[in-house]
Structure 1
Amino acid sequence: MPTWYDMTRYSLLDLVPVVEGGTVGQALANAADLARHAESLGFERYWTAEHHGMAGIASAATSVVIGHVAAATSTIRVGAGGIMLPNHAPLAIAEQFGTLDALFPGRIDLGLGRAPGSDQIVARAMRRNLDSDANAFPQDVLELQSYFADDGQTGIRATPGAGANVSLWILGSSTFGAQLAAMLGLPYAFASHFAPDALMAAIEMYRRTFRPSAALARPHVMAGFNVFAADNDAEAELLASSQQQAFVALRTGNPRQLPPPVAGYRESLGAQGAAILDHVLSCSAVGGPAKVARDIAAFVARTGVDELMIASSIYDHAARKHSLTLTANALREPALAA
C-alpha cells in the first residue's frame, strides 16, 4: 500500500530574501542558484510571491523574477505563489504569463491570490485607488482564464497569452479560496506556513465541493510548511531565528531585511510572545534530519496534502541550500521518520 512519502510531491517557496548587509542583486543571484539546487534535488516546482514595499523581499516584480529563475533552470516548474490579482488588470497578467509560457513552454505556474501583498499605503500606490471591489476576484480569475483559453468572451485576444499552457492555482488562507478553487476545478494552495488557523476547514471544504474540470480531474491540495533543517537540532533552532525576527518585525509594523540569526531569540520574547510565534509558525519543522522527517510525516498524515510547499528564509545562503538537501533526503527516506 502506498504511503505518504510515495505520494506527496514537494516544492519550494522562495521570497527572495534580501539579507542585512546584502543587496537585491545578490538576492536575485541566490534565487537562481537556489532554484538550480532544488531542481537537482527533485523538487517539483519553484515559486516566488508578489510583495511590495518590503525591504527584505526582492520578488515584487514577480513575473520578471520568474523569467530570471526559469532561464537559470531547465526542468523544474517555475511560477508565482502568487500574483495578487487585485493589483493588476487580468489582461496584463495574461500577457506577462503568456510571454513566460512562450519562453519556457510547459514550465510556468500561476498561483492567484486576492490579498494586496502590502499595506494600504503601498496598495494605493500600486492601484492608484482602492475603489475596486474586493469581491471581484472570482470574476477576474474567470476573465484571466478566458484570455488563456482564447474563447472570445472578452472581445480581446491576449497576445501573448491566447492559448498559453499556464497552470492556474488558487491560493488562500481561508475557506474563500477553497470554495473558489473547488468551483472552478483548479488546484488549491493554502498558506499554512504563516496562517495555519483555517487549514483543515479549507482542505475539507475544497475536497468536499470540488468539481472536476478540463484542468483537473481530482482535487489537488498543496500546503505551505516551514522547514529549517541542519545537522543537529540546536543549529536548526539558530537558523530559524532569522525568520522569527523578520516575522515579528513585520507584525509590529517594522518590516526589515532578513537579520542574522540570534541565539535564544524565541526565549527572549517571553512566554506570551513565544506562544504567539509558535502558533503562527506552527506548520514548521525545525531540527536535525530525524526530527524534520518526523515532523513532515506527521503534518502530511494529519492533512493528507498532495504536495508540500517548503518555505524557509535562512540568512546564510549555503546553510539554506544545506537545509534543502536535508529536507529532500527526509522526504525521500522514510526510515528517518520512524
Structure 2
Amino acid sequence: MSHALIADLGGTNARFALVPLHQFVPLEVRVFSCANYSNFFDAAADYIKDCSVDMKDIEAVVLAIAGPVNQAVIRFSNNPWQFTRAEIQSYFGENKAVALLNDFDAVGHCLEILTPDDVVVVGEHSEVDLKAPSWVVGSGTGLGVSCVVPQDNGPNIVLPGEGGHVDLSACNEVEDQILAFLRARHHRVSAERVLSGMGLENIYEALAWQEGIEKRLSAPEIGEALKAGNDPIAIATLEQFFVFLGRVIGDLVLSVESRGGVYIAGGIVPRYLQEILKSGFRDAMQDKGRMKAFVSPIPTFVVMSEYPGLMGCACYASYLVSKA
C-alpha cells in the first residue's frame, strides 16, 4: 500500500506521521522538539529510521510549515530552520510528489474532512454554508490565519497570507493601556503579540503593570496559575486573551464574509475550551457597531482534533498524487 509522509513543522515542535493515501487519520505520530535538531533533515532522518514503512513505499511528502512557503529560501517564523524546495525534493527523491504548505493552509485543507465530533460550537449559531469561505485561526507559538475557499472539484483554495501580523486595535481603556505598554517595548503591536504563548505572557505583564506590579510569568506558569485558581491576574489574562481573539476574528469576518464559519485551532484555545465558552469572546467578535448584524450570524468552532495540520496534509497528499 502506498503511503504519504506528512509533517507539521511549527515553531516549537515538529510532528511527523504516516498515512495511507486517500485515508486521513495520521499513523505513527511522533513529536520532536525543534530545539533538539539543528535542521529539518536531522529531525526527518530520526523519524524515518524508526517508521514501519520503507521509503520506496512513500509516494508523497507533504510538509506544513510555520511561515511563508512562497520564498526562494523557506524560513520559519519562530524557528531557525530553513531550506529550499529543491533541497526537500532532493532529500526525499525526485520520484516523490512533494508539496510544501503553510501550517495554517494545512489546517484549512482539513476542513474538508472534519466531522461534527471534531469541533465544538462557540456561540448560538452553528449553521454553515458549505460553499462559502471560512477562516482558520490558531494561536500557539505564534498566530496563524488562513482563508479557505471551497471548490466543487479538487482541494480547497487556501489564500496565502500572514494575517497573524496585522495591527492590533483596542476598544476600551484597559486595552488602550495594554497596547501602550506593549508599544513602548515593540513600537508596533501586532495581533500575534497578544494571541500566542508569548501573547499570554505579554497580557499578564501588562495587566500586572496596571496594578503597579512588575511581574511576568511564562505561558506554562500562567497555565499552572489558572489551574490553581488563586491568581486573579492570570484569570483576567485569559479572559482578555479571548476578548482580543474575538476582536481579531470579527475584523477577519468583516474582511471576508465567511459564512462557512470560523475554525479556531492551535495549541492554546482547545486547552481552555470551557473558559472560552464562558468568556466574552463572542461579544467581542460581534462588537462591530453598525456592522454587528453582519458579523453575528457567522458561526465559530473550536477544532478539538489532536492533529488538524497533519489531517490537512493527508487530505492534500491524496489530491497531489491524483494530480500526478
Q: TM-score, normalised by structure 1?
A: 0.31
Which structure has the highest strand share of the two? 2
Which structure has the highest helix share of the two? 1
